[in-house]
Structure 1
Amino acid sequence: MKTLLTLLLLTLICFLYHISAGPVAPGLMVRAGCCEKYNRTPIPKGKVTHVGRTADNCAVKAIVVSTVCNKTFCIDQDWPWADKLLTEFKKSANVITSPFNQSKCDETSTVLKG
Structure 2
Amino acid sequence: MRTLAALLALMLVISVSAQHGPTPVKCCDSYSSHVIPIGKVVSYFTTSSSCYQNAHVLKTVADKEFCVKPDLHWVKKIVDKLDMRT
Runs of 5+ unmatched residues, structure 1: 95-114
Of 36, 43, 61, the match for 2:54: 61
Q: Is the 8 A contact 1:34 1:54 kept in 2?
A: yes
Q: Which residue does 1:19 correspond to in 2?
A: 15
1:45–1:10: structure 2 CA closer, same or farther, 3 Å change rule?
Answer: same
TM-score, scaled relative to structure 2: 0.73
> Percentage identity across aligned positions?
29
Structure 2: unaligned runs, 5 residues or longer: none
Question: Which residue is 1:83 aligned to?
Answer: 76
Question: Partners of 1:10 and 1:51 in 2: how far apart?
Answer: 43
1:74 match: 67
RMSD value, Cα: 2.7
| Structure 2 residue identity aligned to 1:75 | V
Structure 1 window deviating more from structure 2 (65-74 vs 17-26): it is: 17-26
